[in-house]
């Protein structure tokens, strides 16, 4: 819950009214849009104490109007080796899909958006040791959990085919096991770029 204070800011940016210098593009003039992109992710994992980096892939399909579908993939990995198994590293990998709300300003050059997604997260944990009758056994948990995420960001149209993105995402992992007795609440910042496919649909 640490980053819910950012969500009103994202919402305000997304539904920012026309009183600004740039007018919102009329929804009737926009057809369905598709973009596919990748980026660098910097995150607070809510597990290891240090912030860690990784990468992301994303795809957006915006329907006629203000609503669309978003699919996300994130992978972040702690560069510090596991104390027990140096070849092992803590990591979080997520797969998500859901809806988004987007507005377009300055003739479509700026596109703030908000999103709500559902998906699956897989955590590769640090190694543990268990005392058994045969002696100490080292094991590594790799466990998947369901999650929801909320966030938003801004797309900037660099050209008719290339969009740049700054994105924030807060995740809540549903967990109550020995590794995550209280769940997990990571948040991620992603900066990237996407290839924008030509819009299709009615124009005016």
Query: Can you list the domains of the chain with their CATH numbers?
Result: 4-15+38-198 (2.40.160.20)
CB 132 within 8 A of CB 96: no
Measure the CA–CA gap between 134 and 191, rounded to whole angstroms: 49
Is the pLDDT at 92 greater than 90? The verdict is yes
Mean per-residue pLDDT, 126-147: 89
pLDDT for 199 equals: 66
Is the pLDDT at 6 greater than 70? The verdict is no
For 107, half-sphere exposure in the C-beta direction (CA atoms, 13 angstrom radius) is: 3
Closest CA to 200 of 53, 1, 45, 63: 63
Measure the CA–CA gap between 53 and 195, rounded to whole angstroms: 23
Dihedral sign for Cα 57, 62, 67, 68, please.
Answer: negative
Query: Percentage of the chain with pLDDT > 70?
Result: 81
Q: What is the pLDDT of residues 101-127, one digit of tens each?
A: 999 999 889 999 999 999 999 999 999
CB 154 within 8 A of CB 166: yes
Q: What is the pLDDT of residues 17-51, one digit of tens each?
A: 443 444 555 444 556 789 999 999 999 999 999 99
Task: Please give the C-alpha separations between residue 56 and each of 112, 136, 142, 165, 177, in angstroms, as whole numbers.
Answer: 19, 38, 20, 12, 27
């Amino acid at each position: 819950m640490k980053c819910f204070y950012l969500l009103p800011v994202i919402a305000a940016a997304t539904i920012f009214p026309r009183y600004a210098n740039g007018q919102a593009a009329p929804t009737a003039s926009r057809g369905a849009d598709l973009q596919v992109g990748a980026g660098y992710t910097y995150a607070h994992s809510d597990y290891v104490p240090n912030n860690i980096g990784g990468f992301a892939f994303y795809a957006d399909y915006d329907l006629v109007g203000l609503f669309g579908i978003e699919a996300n993939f994130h992978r972040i990995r702690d560069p510090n080796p596991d104390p027990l198994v140096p070849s092992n590293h803590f990591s979080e990998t997520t797969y998500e899909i859901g809806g988004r709300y987007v507005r377009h300003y300055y003739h479509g050059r700026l596109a703030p958006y908000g999103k709500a997604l559902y998906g699956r997260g897989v955590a590769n944990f640090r190694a543990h040791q268990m005392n058994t009758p045969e002696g100490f056994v080292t094991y590594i948990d790799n466990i998947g959990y369901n999650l929801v995420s909320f966030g938003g960001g801004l797309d900037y149209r660099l050209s008719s085919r290339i969009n740049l993105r700054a994105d924030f995402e807060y995740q809540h992992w549903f967990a109550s096991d020995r590794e995550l007795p209280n769940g997990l609440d990571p948040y991620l910042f992603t900066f990237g770029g996407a290839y924008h496919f030509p819009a299709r649909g009615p124009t005016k």
